């Protein structure tokens, strides 16, 4: 695993470029896991002359984590990181706000991709890249999560228009800075994102 992390660009959940970095990591991990299983199967076949041996059993069991890794890869392939031009524009307006990039929230009904989020006190705003973002479904989903973590009266607003979002970011800079609450809400959002 340490070798795989060396090849990834050390992006963490909530950092810029996380989704694209995670795709590469998941791809390398999946190929490695399936490669190990295949090599164990081949070694057993070469050593005994048939496939009925103990190494075949180990190779088949090795397909379990490989398949789990493949499912993770498929999930990450569906999403893309915030475009560089958009993130550069947003950085001009964030100032000292706590920001998160590339978050994908999963619920039983839908997945919600939010390219950028800013948190300040009990106010959370985000920018969704797609024009068909189900705001009401997202609000219901995220409100339940925040309430479960004892964050009440949190205002959440997701924008699909970058101009309106940057205007809101400028307004958020004037809000009272509650560092403990900001950090707690941000950690909750990161913990429930893909």
**Range of 24's domain?**
2-77
Q: What is the pTM of this model?
A: 0.81
Residues 63 and 138 in one domain: no
Residues 109 and 183 in one domain: yes
Mean pLDDT of the 80-86 span: 92
Residues 156 and 113 in one domain: yes
Mean pLDDT of the 11-22 span: 91
Does residue 81 or residue 6 have the better pLDDT? 81
| Single residue among 77, 99, 133 that ends a domain in this structure | 77
pLDDT band for position 4 (50/70/90)?
very low
Q: What is the pLDDT of residue 152?
A: 87
Residues 24 and 67 in one domain: yes
DSSP-assigned states of every residue in the chain: -HHHHHHS----TTSTTHHHHHHHHHHHHHHHHHHHHHHHHHHHHHHHSSS-SHHHHHHHHHHHHHHHHHHHHHHHHT--PPPHHHHHHHHHHHTT-EEEEEEEEE-SS-EEEEEEEEEETTEEEEE-SSS---HHHHHHHHHHHHHHTT--S-EEEEES-HHHHHHHHHHHTTS---HHHHHHHHHHHHHHB-
The yes-or-no verdict on residue 2 having pLDDT over 80 is no
Residues 71 and 122 in one domain: no
């Amino acid at each position: 695993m340490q070798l795989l992390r060396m090849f990834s660009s050390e992006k963490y959940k909530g950092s810029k470029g996380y989704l694209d970095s995670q795709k590469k990591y998941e791809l390398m991990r999946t190929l490695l896991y399936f490669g190990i299983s295949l090599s164990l199967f081949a070694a057993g076949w070469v050593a005994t002359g048939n496939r009925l041996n103990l190494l075949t059993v180990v190779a088949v069991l090795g397909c379990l984590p490989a398949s789990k890794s493949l499912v993770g890869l498929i999930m990450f392939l569906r999403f893309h990181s915030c475009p560089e031009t958009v993130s550069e524009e947003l950085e001009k307006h964030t100032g000292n706000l706590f920001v998160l990039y590339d978050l994908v929230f999963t619920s039983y009904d839908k997945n919600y991709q939010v390219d950028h989020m800013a948190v300040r006190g009990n106010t959370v705003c985000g920018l969704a890249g797609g024009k068909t973002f189900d705001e009401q479904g997202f609000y219901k989903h995220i409100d339940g999560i925040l309430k479960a973590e004892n964050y009440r009266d949190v205002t959440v607003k997701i924008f699909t228009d970058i101009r309106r979002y940057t205007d809101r970011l400028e307004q958020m800079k004037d809000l009272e800075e509650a560092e403990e609450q900001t950090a707690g809400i941000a950690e909750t959002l990161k913990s429930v994102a893909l």
